[in-house]
Amino acid sequence: METFSERVAAWVRAVPSGRVVTYGQLATLAGSPGAARQVSGVLRRETLRDAWFPWHRVVNAQGGISTYKVGEGELQAALLAREGVMVVDGALRLEVYLWRPAEDGPPPKPNR
DNA sequence: AGTTTGACTTGTT
DNA sequence: TAACAAGCCAAAC
């Protein structure tokens, strides 16, 4: 059985450059609505395992940067800017950048 | 095996 | 609009 963490990681890797997803959205996609907090743990672990893991494409439900360290927030904003995502005052417009899996490409795990 | 912990979310003040 | 509180659930201890 595939773990929650693995499913979350797969979905994050599926997010196209220039788009973002929220913690809660990932939890739901991975099959556990409400496990948004746990998603952060997955990002931390995956980032250690894979330096190129696109953790920066994950933001909170308000479109804000939620990194646990102040300095990391700056990094995330910079990485997003490099992909064309404009971050203003630590936040971005979800109505512009939020990725909706169905409209763009097949999910890594065609749910169900 | 029970407890603690969060890079979250949502509702209430 | 901003601050606070409670709920949430998989992982790590």
DSSP lists the bridge partners of residue A21 as A58
**Any domain includes A83:** yes
At A58 the pLDDT is 96
Three-state SS letters, chain A: CCCHHHHHHHHHHHCCCCCEEEHHHHHHHCCCCCCHHHHHHHHHHHHHHCCCCCHHHEECCCCECCCCCHHHHHHHHHHHHHCCCCCECCECCHHHHECCHHHHCCCCCCCC
Residues 16-35 in A having a C-beta less than 7 A from any atom of strand C are 32-35
> Could you read off the pLDDT tens digit of each residue along chain A, which spans 112 residues?
789 999 999 999 999 999 999 999 999 999 999 999 999 999 988 998 888 999 999 999 999 999 867 677 889 999 999 999 999 989 999 999 999 986 555 555 544 3
Residue A11 domain boundaries: 4-98
**Any domain includes A16:** yes
At A48 the pLDDT is 86
At A110 the pLDDT is 47
Residues A32 and A82: their CA atoms lie apart, in Å, by: 31
Q: Is the CB of A74 under 7 A from strand B?
A: no
**Any domain includes A108:** no
Residues 26-45 in A having a C-beta less than 7 A from any atom of strand B are 36-41, 43-44
Q: Is the CB of A53 under 7 A from strand C?
A: no
Specify the CATH number for the domain of residue A37: 1.10.10.10
**Any domain includes A85:** yes
At A35 the pLDDT is 95
At A112 the pLDDT is 35
Give the count of domains, chain A: 1
**Any domain includes A109:** no
